[in-house]
Amino acid sequence: MGFYSRLNAAWDANDSMLCVGLDPDLARFPETSQGGVQEIETFCKQIIDATGDLVCAFKPQIAYFAAYGAEKQLENICAYIRDQFPDVVLILDAKRGDIGDTAKLYAREAFVRYNADAVTVNPYLGTDSLEPFLATPDKGTIVLCRTSNAGSSELQSLVTDGEPLYLRIARIAAETWHTIGECALVVGATYPAELAAVRAIVGEMPILVPGIGAQGGDITAVVKAGRDTNRRGLIINSSRAILYADSSISFADSARKVAIETRDEINRARRVN
Amino acid sequence: MGFYSRLNAAWDANDSMLCVGLDPDLARFPETSQGGVQEIETFCKQIIDATGDLVCAFKPQIAYFAAYGAEKQLENICAYIRDQFPDVVLILDAKRGDIGDTAKLYAREAFVRYNADAVTVNPYLGTDSLEPFLATPDKGTIVLCRTSNAGSSELQSLVTDGEPLYLRIARIAAETWHTIGECALVVGATYPAELAAVRAIVGEMPILVPGIGAQGGDITAVVKAGRDTNRRGLIINSSRAILYADSSISFADSARKVAIETRDEINRARRVN
């Protein structure tokens, strides 16, 4: 079953467009933890257990593992998601981007080593740099389009041939990348007007939306701007707001509580006209 | 001592602007090797021993390690370069690019975990995504400008405000990134005219030039187009052409032979008018 099919099934199975981002920040761990790399694995598995029936996807951010030499723990976490929640989509957030032979190795890292359903990639090097990802059968390639950070307009909104660069990316995705493989895009929740413009170009292509929660994106605005004609089409990511929600109860309980609230808020917005 | 100072010293110490890229491809290893991750370390150390007195820099490409779970071997290789050739600059080729908190962790991966002098990064997310790298004292941030692959013009040559995007990147590098930290750029050897245009904008900023050797870039054209007013300023990378040069003699001997030829060809081109 390919990425699109798995994503559709996951949206349905848990009635959820919520994605929980696994950004295990040692400095923000519960006080009871020991703070070593093994704690990263334990912490993530507890978050997965607490939220796996509430989400369409988990998205581990590889930098949080690579900074501390915790690749083995990331492998274990990915295998745990597969084992415990086989219907949930696994997205490796790596934002890779490199030329041909090197891109093939990054595709191997994401799709073989970590067995992800999809990986985030950077388009700056062009279509040939994305082909090794796009050409992998049944896997998803999620291309950065308009990122959630404050400085994203600096290059992404430069106007070329009468339209900003991020819309050019959306157009190439719809016209070219979509014909090579199972393509999706990243558009930050902090830019709902831009999200609506991208949606108008890409039809029913899935869009990964980071930036709600700690980064301040508004859920109702995001869903209204970004949903497709089936009122689906979004993978709405929250990381810090769920992982480190409320220190007055156990972190797993507080993660579950915030995940339910967020999923429900997304679903309310999805159904209004 | 900072990245610029170390690079200047390395250019002088070995009278070389050659960088050897460490892209250990298991499929191309000598027949005597066993093909496991330990072989990656042994192979790279033998290349380092054979060429360390001929280069200004070594550039391990992290994808070749990450695809096979060989991060520990990469750590050992980086430490070996420091130990055996302390004057040679160590560049981690990772092409990272992510938002604030995540970028900080990628900076930690490159500069703390692997103790690199410099790391390659992708500019698509804008200045705020580069700041964690640029703000690290004494370390180099080498930003993709015009890459060596055939498809690089697709986005990088789009015209915005009357100039192609890659020249806009060069201008921002010279005007902004250069004021935050020790910035350098990547321009592929396969585009010498573009290299000359970038050099005209960035003054004496170092430029990392991949794409000679297996990718077909012409050394004389590259050096004439890219050298600075001191006839230096370039880090000219060759990977496959040196690592897998000539199967009729030992791979270390053939790597040394090709590295000498390449260094000398660069130096001849550097000195002609």
For residue range A101-110, list pLDDT tens digits in order. Answer: 999 999 999 9
Scan residues 48-87 of B and list those with Cβ closer than 8 Å to A.
61, 63-64, 66-69, 71-72, 75
Contact state of B109 with A63 under an 8 Å Cβ cutoff: yes
Read off the tokens for B17: 């602007």
pLDDT in tens, B144-167: 999 999 999 999 999 999 999 999
Please provide the average confidence, as pLDDT, over all residues in chain A. 95
A243 — pLDDT class (breaks 50, 70, 90): confident
Q: What are phi and psi of A259, to 5 degrees?
A: -65, -40
Q: What percent of chain A has pLDDT over 70?
A: 98
Q: How far apart (Å, rounded) are the C-alpha atoms in residues B106 and B122?
A: 12
Q: What percent of chain A has pLDDT over 90?
A: 87
Closest chain B residue by Cα to residue A60:
B102
Taking residues B35-51, report their average pLDDT.
92
Residue B177 has pLDDT above 90, yes or no: yes
pLDDT in tens, A163-208: 999 999 999 999 999 999 999 999 999 999 999 999 999 999 999 9
Q: Where are the beta strands (DSSP E) in B181-270?
A: 182-187, 207-209, 234-238
Q: Where are the beta strands (DSSP E) in B104-251?
A: 118-121, 140-146, 159-160, 163-164, 182-187, 207-209, 234-238
Interface ipTM: 0.96
Contact between A6 and A222 (Cβ < 8 Å): no
For chain A, the C-alpha Rg in angstroms (whole number) is 18
User: How many other CB atoms are found less than 10 A from the CB of residue A53?
Assistant: 15
Q: CB of A185 within 8 Å of any CB in chain B?
A: no
Q: How close does chain B come to A164, measured CA to CA in Å? A: 9
B33 — pLDDT class (breaks 50, 70, 90): low
Closest chain A residue by Cα to residue B60:
A102
Q: Which of A59, A72, A95, A139 is catalytic?
A: A95
Residue B32: per-residue pLDDT: 67
User: How many other CB atoms are found less than 10 A from the CB of residue B134?
Assistant: 21
Q: Where are the beta strands (DSSP E) in A147-240?
A: 159-160, 163-164, 182-187, 207-209, 234-238
Q: Which of B67, B97, B160 sits opposite A122 (nearest CB)?
A: B97
pLDDT in tens, B196-249: 999 999 999 999 999 998 778 899 999 999 999 999 999 999 999 898 877 777
User: Is domain A3-271 given the CATH code 3.20.20.70 in the classification?
Assistant: yes
Residue A32: per-residue pLDDT: 67
Contact between B226 and B199 (Cβ < 8 Å): yes
SS3 A158: coil
Contact state of A126 with B67 under an 8 Å Cβ cutoff: no
For the CA atoms of A100, A105, A106, A112, what is the dihedral angle to 10 degrees? Answer: 140
Residue A2: per-residue pLDDT: 97
Scan residues 19-38 of B and list those with Cβ closer than 8 Å to A.
23, 25
A131 — pLDDT class (breaks 50, 70, 90): very high
Which DSSP letter does residue A141 get?
A: E
Residue ranges of domains in chain B? 3-271
Closest chain A residue by Cα to residue B120:
A98
Contact between B90 and B57 (Cβ < 8 Å): yes
Contact state of A113 with B67 under an 8 Å Cβ cutoff: yes
pLDDT in tens, B61-95: 999 999 999 999 999 999 999 999 999 999 999 99
What is the sign, positive or negative, of the torsion defined by CA atoms of B262, B267, B268, B269?
A: positive
Q: First vs last Cα of chain B: how many Å apart?
A: 32
Cα distances from B219 to residues A179, B237, B254, B266, in angstroms, run 38, 11, 19, 6
Scan residues 120-179 of B and list those with Cβ closer than 8 Å to A.
122-129, 144, 147-156, 158-161, 165, 168-169, 172
The long-range contacts involving A29-32, CB below 8 angstroms and separated by at least 24 positions, are A30/A247, A30/A250, A30/A251
Residue A59 has pLDDT above 80, yes or no: yes
Q: How far apart (Å, rounded) are the C-alpha atoms in residues A122 and B121?
A: 11
> Is B228 exposed, middle or buried, given 0-12, 13-18 or 19+ CB atoms closer than 10 A?
middle
Residue B85: per-residue pLDDT: 98
Q: Which residue has the higher pLDDT, A213 or A246?
A: A213
SS3 A224: helix
Residue A96: per-residue pLDDT: 98
Q: Which of B101, B127, B148 sits opposite A151 (nearest CB)?
A: B127
Q: How far apart (Å, rounded) are the C-alpha atoms in residues A255 and B6?
A: 47
* Pick from B213, B210, B212, B208: nearest CA to B233: B208
Residue B215: per-residue pLDDT: 76
Q: How far apart (Å, rounded) are the C-alpha atoms in residues A199 and B16?
A: 51
